[in-house]
Every structure is written in C-alpha cells, then in structure tokens.
C-alpha cells in the first residue's frame, strides 16, 4: 500500500490508474484548488498511458510547482484520512516528513489525522479509503 508517499508493508493495496496514493491525490487537489488551478484529473488524466502507475509524489511536486509559479506559497495543510486499517498513528510522522519534502515546506505545516469507520459502511468494512485535505495558501510578496 502506498499512502502519504510511503510504501506501507501491509496485506492490502489501493487500486488506481497511478500508484493510487489516496492521500497525495487529495493533497494535490487541495493545493491546486486553493490556487484556482485545474484539478489532478485535468493535469494527469487517467486516460493517458503515461500516467499508468505514475508516482503520486511526482504529480504532487509538479502541482506544487504550478502553485508556486502562480504566486502562492503553502501556509499549512490539514488532512484527514479515513480507513479501517492500518492504523495511521505509527506512520504519521514519517508521512508528514515525506509530504513536507515533496512540498518543500516544514513538517510543522502539515497535520494528518486518521479516522476509522468503526466497522460501519465501506470504510468500516475496509473496502474504501478516503482522504480530505484543506490547504491554506498565502500570496507571495511581490518585489
């Protein structure tokens, strides 16, 4: 399983056209949206063969460069990952470090919270993982 830019040694994985890193995809959309830029699907369509198996960290780095080129910098990022297992607590700090590295920011600017479905619904049955992220951008000083 690839989540938050890390390869987790667990007995399940996500399915997707790219490497299916749910968290990095949500972060990519959050920073692009905050800057008023096209979403991940427009920049990296799943109909394009070059995106098959693509590293989500690469997509996020390209997106963040577009955000910077548009005159913005990341102030902070707040993420919630909903999945039944694995528990995120053992991985959160490493994920923050990896995401900060990709975004070229400090780990303190990133918050990651894990939530379970407590056995209820698609998340609770382990059929689904969902990530929601909010990015706060600030305009870079001109001059």
- Residue-wise pLDDT for 121-142, tens only, equals 777 767 667 899 999 999 987 6
In which band, very low, low, confident or very high, does the pLDDT at 59 lie, cut at 50, 70 and 90? Answer: very high
Lowest model confidence (mean pLDDT) among 22-36, 63-77, 81-95: 81-95
CA dist 79 → 28, 45, 46, 47, 130 (Å): 12, 23, 24, 27, 10
Neighbouring residues of 15: CB distance < 8 A, sequence distance ≥ 6 = none
- Contact assessment for residue 11 and residue 117, using Cβ atoms and an 8 Å cutoff: no
Q: Quick one: CA torsion of 109, 115, 121, 123, rounded to 10 degrees?
A: 60
Question: What does the domain layout of the chain look like in residue ranges?
Answer: 2-139
Q: What is the pLDDT of residue 24?
A: 96
The CATH number given to 2-139 is 3.30.1330.50
In which band, very low, low, confident or very high, does the pLDDT at 120 lie, cut at 50, 70 and 90? Answer: confident
Owner of token pair 């989540």 = 3
Average pLDDT along the chain: 89
Query: How far is the C-alpha of 130 from the C-alpha of 13, rounded, in Å?
Result: 13
CA dist 66 → 6, 11, 101, 139 (Å): 23, 35, 16, 13
pLDDT of residue 118 exceeding 90, the answer is no
């Amino acid at each position: 399983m690839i989540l938050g830019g890390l390869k987790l040694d667990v007995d399940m994985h996500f399915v997707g056209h790219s490497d299916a890193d749910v968290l990095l995809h949500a972060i990519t959309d959050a920073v692009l949206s905050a800057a008023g830029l096209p979403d991940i699907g427009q920049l990296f369509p799943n109909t394009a063969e070059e995106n098959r198996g693509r590293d989500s960290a690469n997509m996020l780095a390209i997106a963040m460069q577009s955000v910077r080129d548009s005159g913005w910098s990341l102030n902070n990022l707040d993420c919630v990952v909903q999945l039944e297992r694995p528990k995120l607590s053992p991985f959160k700090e490493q994920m923050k470090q990896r995401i900060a590295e990709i975004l070229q920011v400090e780990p303190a600017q990133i918050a990651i919270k894990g939530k379970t479905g407590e056995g209820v619904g698609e998340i609770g049955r382990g059929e689904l993982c969902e990530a929601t992220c909010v990015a706060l951008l600030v305009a870079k000083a001109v001059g």
